[in-house]
Structures are given as structure tokens and as C-alpha cells.
Chain A
Amino acid sequence: MSTTSAAQHHLVLILARDFASRLATAVFLVDERGSVIYYNEAAERVLGRKYIEGAGMDADEWGTLFAPSDDDGNPIELSELPLGVAILERRPDHRMLRIRSADGIRHRIEATAFPLFAHEDECLGAIAIFWKRDDDPSKDTRGGSETDAPGRDG
């Protein structure tokens, strides 16, 4: 827990969560170790999982749960995901990627992530903002997303 004490999150994270909660754009917030501390309703819709179900997931879990891949279907490692870069390298990153939501919907998304520094030497976590993209270059997209119901891909 990125906190000012064991009892409370740091003010920067409180403000980040409040900011995210007011956006119609999907926002995903993790602590300095990469564990999920919040994502907003727009992110819930893309990820197919309620925040209350995803709270506390560690980086290895969310880094694989949504099966991130590039446009050619090659898996993307945590260290190459924008949020992974923000946490592991403490720098911003941006890329296109594909994910599969928890309820089996494939999405092509564009994600930007950056670390949250309270001071130059105090990184509290990172935040990712992502959009569904309809301009899928390799698929007949039907709006950028396609159902991948359980059983269809084994």
C-alpha cells in the first residue's frame, strides 16, 4: 500500500483516484509495486471486471489476465506494457495493444501510462489511461471489438 501511514493512502493517490472516478475515459491505478488500487467505471467496461473484483491484483496477475498482445497476436510481457514500463522503469510509455477482457471480449486499445511521483525520489505508483480503438488494421473489427466467448478459442 502506497501510504502516508498504514492507515491511509498518500494524498497524491487520493487525488488520482478522485480524478479517475470523474472521467469517462478508462483509467487504471496501481501502487508502487504494481498492485491494483483503483480503476474506474470506464475501465470496468473495457476489462469486463468490476473494480471490487480486481482490487489488489498484483502486476503479474493483471499483466497476464487480460492476455495482452500486439496486432500480430504476439504476447506482450509486463515489462513491455505501458503500465509495466511506468512501474519498472519509472518513465512514461505509450503503445497500441490488444487485450481480452475478463468476459471474453477482445479489444484493440491505445494506452498511455506514467509514474506518479510525490517527490523526485518518491514514486507512489502509476496510472494508465486507455481507449478502445476502432481502426484495427488487421481485422474486420465490427467496432474494434469482437466477442471471444469462452470455448471459442479453447
Chain B
Amino acid sequence: MQARIWGCRGSIATPGPETIRYGGNTSCVEIRGDADEVIVLDAGTGARPLGNELMSDPPARVDLLLTHLHVDHLEGLGMFGPIWSPGTELHIWGPPSPVASLDERIATYFSPPLFPVHLAEVPARVRFHDAPREPWTIGSVTVTAHPILHPGATVGYRLESAGRAIAYVTDHEPALGTDLDAVDASWISGYALARRADVLIHDCQYTDDEYAAHVGWGHPSVTHVAAFARRVEADRLVMFHHHPGHGDEALDAMRDDMLSAWQVESERCILAAEGARIDV
């Protein structure tokens, strides 16, 4: 598998000179399976440039895995090229809700007056799926979805192929009410998804100082992510979902803090950056 980052900003898109190196588009990651399956993780504004590239050679099938429906993970769907292509079979997976179906919840955003076209009217053949409780396969890739700790229905994903695993656990506050260093691992949100992942893409929104004023907002601090990575024994960590107020230099400093807290070799800790390709 290979991952490519198309958007790694959290909360709201932040284009500008302060975010040149790591990018300002919101969450979107492209995964290519070993059989060239096209799997897209979240549809933030990074879905627009990804969609443009996909349309240069339109795939017959695209699987979009949504972690949750907060706008920064959904706002790119309307500008995602394949959704406007009648030849595309677009499978959208997302967290189940006891309140409404996945298509109804997406259409809350993807319909007038917030968007000019209703979701039911797009040309692509769209299929909606509640993320199953048990692992399922997309071509050669086995996908597992588990609920994770974030306000509202939210899941993380683990994708496995040929003995390799990538975990996508963004918008996640695993230390809320929990001492990650002390608690038994079975009580850590996201543990089963991220356990011994070759690549762990994890929310890293706050510095430790910022977190103190944002407890319960659904995002972790650097120290929490370091503890989580240590507990799950991740091989490589990709710091993701950058705070919109963190420019490139601030992110570099957070990575230094992460290395100090996690105490691993430098190459095992990566700051997500638009355009970056990561071999799994």
C-alpha cells in the first residue's frame, strides 16, 4: 500500500504563506492498494485536488472512508471530481448513527441552501454503507473500523494488506479521562486499530499548553500522542490534523517536542505534508 497526503489541516482550510510547507487543505488521504484500489480517507478540501488528478484517468470504483461528518472532513466532497462522473461507482463508508442514515446525514451539508445540488442528484453511482462492525475487504485491502473518542459518531480505520498495516486515527482524544501510561491497554480508545501499525496517521492538534484549555474538544496534545504511539507500539507516526493556527515553524517545533516525548529515532516521526507519499 501507499498513502498520499492531500490535506492534513484540521478544523478549517488555511492557505497562505504561513502554511506553505505542510499545506492548508483539510483532511484527505489517498490510499492505493497493492491491486491499485483507490481508497480515500476523508473528504476535506484536499479531496478537490485529489479528484482532479483521479479524473485524468477515471477509476471505475472509488471507496471513500469517512471518519465522521464534521465539515472539515466533508467539505471537499462537492468538489471531488469522481462524484460528477457518471462512470464512477463511488462507495461512501461512514460511522453508523442511531439517528439517521449516512446519506441523510451527509445530505444535511450536501443540499440547498448550503450546497446548490442535492446529494441524490449527483451523476456518480453512489452507494452508502455504515462502516461494518467486523472487518471487510476492498479488493486486496482489509479494512477495520472502530468507534473512537471524539464528539459525535466517529470511527478510525485500519487498513491491512500483504502483512502491512496503516491506521488512520484522526480527530481523537484518547487521553480524555485516561492516564495513557498507566491504564491497561484494553481501556485505551483506538488501541486495537493502531496496535503495531506500520504507519499510524494520528491527530496531533494541540501543544501541551494549548490542550489545557481544550480538554474534551476531541483532540490530543503532543504528549498524549507520544504516549499513544508508545502504547500501541507504532512503527512510524504521521502527525496529522494540524491546528489552523500552527504555521510551518510551529509544526516543526511540535515535531521536536514529539521526538522528546516519544524518545524514538527521528525518521519514525513525520509531519504530514500535502503531496507527501508514504510507503506502508
Contact = CB atoms under 8 A, between A and B. Distances in A.
Interface of A: 1, 3-12, 14-15, 17-18, 21-22, 118-120, 122
A149 B133 CA distance: 49
A15 B149 contact: yes
A8 B186 contact: yes
Q: Which of B133, B144, B149, B186 has the most chain A CB atoms inside 10 A of its CB? A: B186
Contacts of A11: 146-149, 189
Contacts of A5: 144, 146, 192
Interface string B118-156: 000000000000000100000000001011110000000
Taking residues whose C-beta sits less than 8 angstroms from the other chain, chain B's interface range is 10 to 19
Interface string B185-223: 111110110010000000000000000000000000000
Contacts of A6: 192
Q: Which of B98, B178, B192 has the most chain A CB atoms inside 10 A of its CB? A: B192
Contacts, number: 48
A119 B96 contact: yes
Contacts of B186: 1, 3, 7-9
B147 A4 contact: yes
Contacts of A1: 186
Nearest to A9: B186
B14 to A, nearest CB: 30
A122 B187 contact: no
Contacts of A118: 147
Contact of A7 (B96, B147, B178, B185): B185
A22 B177 contact: yes
Interface in B199-254: none
B177 A8 contact: no
A119 B189 CA distance: 18
A118 B144 CA distance: 17
A120 B98 contact: yes
Contacts of A7: 185-186, 191-192, 195
A18 B147 contact: no
Interface string B30-41: 000000000000
Contacts of A9: 186-187
19 contacts: A4-B146, A5-B146, A5-B192, A7-B195, A8-B146, A8-B188, A8-B191, A8-B192, A11-B148, A11-B149, A12-B147, A14-B187, A14-B188, A14-B189, A15-B149, A17-B187, A18-B176, A118-B147, A122-B133
A11 B155 CA distance: 10
B188 A10 contact: no
Nearest to B195: A7
B177 A18 contact: yes
Given A7-B185, A7-B192, 8 more contacts: A6-B192, A8-B188, A11-B189, A17-B187, A18-B176, A18-B177, A118-B147, A119-B98
A18 B178 contact: yes
A50 to B, nearest CB: 16
Contacts of A4: 146-147, 192
B174 to A, nearest CB: 9
Interface string B162-192: 0000000000000011100000011111011
The 6 tightest CB contacts between A and B, nearest first, are A18-B177, A8-B192, A5-B192, A11-B147, A4-B146, A7-B192
A116 B149 CA distance: 17
Contacts of A8: 146, 185-188, 191-192
